[in-house]
Amino acid sequence: MLVARDKDRLDELALDLTNKYRVNCEVIVADLATEAGANHVAKRCADDSKPISVLVNNAGFGIKTSFEKTPIAQEEAMLNVLVRAPMLLTHAALSVMRKRGRGHLVHIGSVAAWITSGTYSAAKAWLTTFSESLSVALAGTGVTSTVVAPGFVRTEFQQRAGMKPQDVPNWMWLSARLVAQQAWQDVLAGKTVSVPSLQYKVLSTLTRGLPRPLIRRVSKDVMR
């Protein structure tokens, strides 16, 4: 089941996946920033006649301006995509997974969850704690919850958010394939937190272990 706003690109992806892997793809056009869009997808996730074995909360949303300079409607839209939608879809899919005694919940977080980079970090911090809490609550049920925390990944995210990829050192970039492969290995291994690549494993360990005043200072310098 593929969910996004662009029907043409969804149809193209569905056809490509069908031709390559001989799978059936269900396309759902929805904007997860809206209540109607999120509710529509949640209803599908809760359909136990067509159960979902793996839910990947991967919808992205980025804002390049500071909080006080961003229209509040845009901030609310980001919160809907990064917090409300994962909560809603997870709740819906979990009801089916628990009945079946198996399933995987995969939440795409970020190493930004452990620094202080505006409301994006705040949303990813919520998602990280949410996923970790589910992992504890679901222990022994056959259903797992994993939060994936990559750094900079070469996708359309930065372009759509109006950011400048050239401002980021080359060594900090990861390929989407590497992130997906490592994440899936960790999901199948039952890991609670997946941090793809050695460089981000080191960075995440540092950010989680360093004193918070130092993290705030470093985050402030990076955001300038």
Diameter of the chain measured on Cα atoms:
52
* 160-to-69, 179, 209, 223 alpha-carbon distances in Å: 18, 20, 32, 19
**Strand-by-strand arrangement of the 54-57 sheet:** 54-57, 103-108, 143-148, 193-194
Tokens of 55: 């839910």
β-pairing, 143-148 vs 152-153, is: unpaired
Distance CA 138, CA 205 (A): 25
CA distance 180 to 167: 24
Structure tokens that stand for 109 in this block: 């977080």
Catalytic residue, chosen from 120, 130, 152, 200, is: 120
The secondary structure of 191-207 as a DSSP string is -SEE--SHHHHHHHHHH
Both tokens of 162, joined, read 């109006």
Q: CB neighbours of 63 closer than 8 A, spacing ≥ 6?
A: 70, 74, 75, 78, 118, 119, 120, 161
State yes or no: is 200 an active-site residue.
Answer: no
Active site residues: 120
